[in-house]
Amino acid sequence: MRTLVVATGNPGKLREIRQTLGDLPVRVVGLRDLPPLDEPAETGGTFAANARDKATYYARATGHWCVADDSGLVVDALGGRPGVYSARYAADRCDPGAGRDVVDAANNAKLLDELADVPDERRTARFVCALALSDGETILIETDGTVEGRIARTERGSNGFGYDPLFHLPSRGVTTAELPPDAKNAISHRGQATRRFATELKTLLATA
């Protein structure tokens, strides 16, 4: 069985990807399952570029196929921010080495501050995910996914992570943090990208 490294230390991301790839003949491991590795610099100007760079870096470092995602929140009223800086949007508000819960809370607080005077109809946004699979030399698969929504004025829900408590789905009347994991995965940007990835990976494994 081939080992597939998922280039994340985020347990939420790893859980979502494992769930979608569960039926494939691969052993899925995250970065926390491996000896510590230095993180690569994320210098790409797009989600796709960062995903390619991370996948290639970790594939070379581990000797295994690696799938990396770069995903984030694109807010129209902020000119596309936080975009590729979503995970570290409020870095200036956090102590170095702050935990994920602290960083998420700071990011959400900054987002609400910047949108405080923006009316509801202009709070449109989307989650975007780009996935790339590398063997260390070549990008073997690339997929993506997008889900549209609006930024709520208060956090709601305890499921998910990151900006989920603020990402409102008008068609459902809930935030993505209020959805059960299966329901969220069915519509989420990462769920879309991962299902497309799983289809292409199944074909690749059959011919590799």
CATH number of the structural domain spanning residue 42: 3.90.950.10
| Both structure tokens of 5 | 């490294």
Active-site residue numbers?
A: 70
Distances (CA, A) of 155 to 128, 133, 159, 197: 20, 34, 11, 31
pLDDT at 3: 94
pLDDT band, residue 147 (cuts 50/70/90): very high
Distances (CA, A) of 127 to 7, 71, 90, 143: 19, 7, 18, 14
Under the banding of pLDDT at 50, 70 and 90, the label for residue 185 is confident
Q: Which residue segment(s) compose the domain that 56 sits in?
A: 2-207
Alpha-carbon torsion (80, 166, 108, 160), positive or negative: negative
**pLDDT tier, 105 (very low <50, low <70, confident <90, very high otherwise):** very high
What confidence category does residue 123 fall into, taking pLDDT thresholds of 50, 70 and 90?
A: very high
Residue 181 CA to residue 96 CA, distance in Å, equals 31
Predicted confidence (pLDDT) per residue in 89-104, tens digit? 998 898 888 888 899 9
- For the chain, the domain total comes to 1
Q: Could you read off the pLDDT of 49-62 as tens digits, one per residue?
A: 999 999 999 999 99
- Give the global pTM: 0.88
Q: Residue 206 carries which side chain, given as an amino acid letter?
A: A
- Choose among 8, 66, 111, 52: nearest CA to 201: 66
pLDDT tens column, 14-57: 887 888 887 899 999 999 999 999 888 888 899 999 999 999 99
φ/ψ of residue 25, rounded to 5: -80, 65
Say whether pLDDT at 149 is over 80. Answer: yes
